[in-house]
């Protein structure tokens, strides 16, 4: 049933729906990290999300960038 509705959508509607679903999945992931690690700050939660999603190398680069910004 949902698949037929998705097929009837315009390309713009499909993109909007996919963006909304993507945001929902991201929020669910962040909430799961919060539940597992209540001791983490919000920025540490987001860094953990980056590490899980895109890997430790990118998370390390983001941490380095954030520290450099604080020093400016």
Q: What is the secondary structure of 22-65 as a DSSP string?
A: HHHHHHHHHHHHHHH-TTS-HHHHHHHHHHHHH-HHHHHHHHHH
Cα separation, 23 vs 19, whole angstroms: 6
Q: How far apart are CA 63 and CA 57, in angstroms?
A: 10
Full domain range(s) for residue 13: 2-71
Total number of domains constituting the chain: 1
26-72 confidence digits (pLDDT tens): 999 999 999 999 999 999 999 999 999 999 999 999 999 999 988 87
pLDDT exceeds cutoff 80 at 2: no
In angstroms, rounded to a whole number, what is the distance separating the alpha carbons of residues 6 and 13? 9
């Amino acid at each position: 049933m949902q698949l037929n509705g998705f097929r009837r959508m315009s390309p713009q509607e499909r993109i909007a729906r996919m963006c909304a679903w993507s945001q929902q999945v991201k929020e669910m992931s962040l909430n799961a990290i919060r539940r597992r690690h209540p001791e983490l700050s919000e920025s540490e939660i987001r860094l953990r999300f980056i590490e899980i999603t895109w890997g430790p190398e990118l998370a390390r680069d983001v941490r380095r960038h954030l520290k450099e910004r604080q020093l400016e």
